[in-house]
Structure 1
Amino acid sequence: MSHHTLLRWFLFGLVVGLLVLGAENGAWADPIYYTTQVGEDVVFDSIREDSATDPTPLYGPPTVSANSLVFFPVSFKAYASEMHPAVDLTDGTMSMTIRSLQGGPILGILVRESGDFTLGGLGTANTIAAVATPMFVTITQVDGQSITPISFSQSMTYSPKANGKFNLLDDEGVGETWEGLALLDVAGALAAAGIQGAATKVTLSLDNVLLATSEAASVAYIAKKQFGIEVLIPEPSTLTLLILACVGFLARGRRRFK
């Protein structure tokens, strides 16, 4: 089993345990609902964030620019050291509905995030700073008409390591930057389902997890500093350029991970 798979199962086990504990003892925080944001060609509404591990807000209020929704988190982080919990997990969920104005086609959604991490002290590869962001899209309207929902999921690819897992032996440093990118192919999901037409309303949900683990004399820290969602309703030539840019990013991440 690969390190990436082990990390996924470890994160899943921790989150499930925290959710069970939260159900027994009450929620850590109340969900926060943000006001509807209107872009040039799309509307973002039902914007909701929640956390099973930490007080909210983690993402903070969004701002809209063109067809993008941008967050600048200030408290979305995980920290572990010999004087702190040996494992610190921060789990923040985000969901929203995206609908096009005037029937414009939603071809895809570009999701980006970035932050920094610190790994230091004396320890082994078990001192870890990691990030994971599974995302889920449900298409509910095509050409302005409701359809039987079509859902698909995808995970973020990161740089400088594609799996988003950094350890003390390989990645020691202070304030090292990380980036994540995912292109959610809405048009491709419709085509795969044999449905003609263009998506005009979708829901997006994601679960962002930051993990820090330390040893007796080591420190691990990771933070998310920026998170953005760009809805793609461009000319075909522009979409091609965006896809090529994403492919280049993903290729760089895979090369660095090897």
Structure 2
Amino acid sequence: MSDPLAQKTQFLAAAQAAADVAACIVRPFFRAGVRADDKADASPVTIADRSAERAIRAVIGERLPHHGIMGEEFGTEQPDAAYRWVIDPVDGTRAFLTGRPTFGTLIALLHDGVPVLGIIDQPITGERWIGVRGEATRYVSRLAGQAGTRLCPSLAQAELSCTAPEILEGDYRPRWEALSRAVKRVSWGGDCYAYGLLALGQVDIIAECTMKPWDWAALVPVVEGAGGRMTDWAGRPLRLDGDGSVLAIGNPALMDQACRLLAK
């Protein structure tokens, strides 16, 4: 079987160039009073989202024209391509709109549906997490921190994070609450930034639902390259056609216990 990352240098260069361009576009709009439009699902979108996604698509299309692209704002190109880029230009638009630097640009490369490369880029703080399947995650920043999850010894000592209570719809809420009762502390907010913090050993568990592929694809190589693990709430690998549940955990030894608490 051929190595899906045989052209890793080229793929990584394209991803980094796309993240650089997106950061240059997003940064001037931050705390600039941009207007938000509501999409069909009532989530907000801004000129920063749309402009950054167009720029990412342009970079990838120029460098890797035979690759597919799936983006939050402009849909899918070449859906049958073995390599597919999955992008979220501003993950955490609500945070962006309210001036909080906890949003990020997410850029992932999938091969046959499996994430093999992922970048979390925070254009305001200048932090970037780079994950490549089979390699240790790199954290590039002027801030303190080193990539590597915390080997939290038990759920009772764990820091649990979730973006917002309202994403816990239907029967997901009581299942999530079962997990929340077993941990030391719960914090809200963070979007993709929380997963970067998990990859730095600051957060131990993240459990969320209603996640789209562009919300999680880039996170998998980052979290797993830092020593953690990502699955759905049943412990299954994340899939493009999955149920939208996502569980990230810094110490894989706690995964089975967390999944039991999240079980239906």
The answer to whether the superposition gives a TM-score over 0.5 is: no
Q: Pick the structure with greater CA Rg.
A: 1
Q: Which has the higher contact order (CA 8 A, sep 6+)?
A: 1
User: TM-score, normalized by length of structure 1?
Assistant: 0.30
Structure with the largest fraction of strand: 1
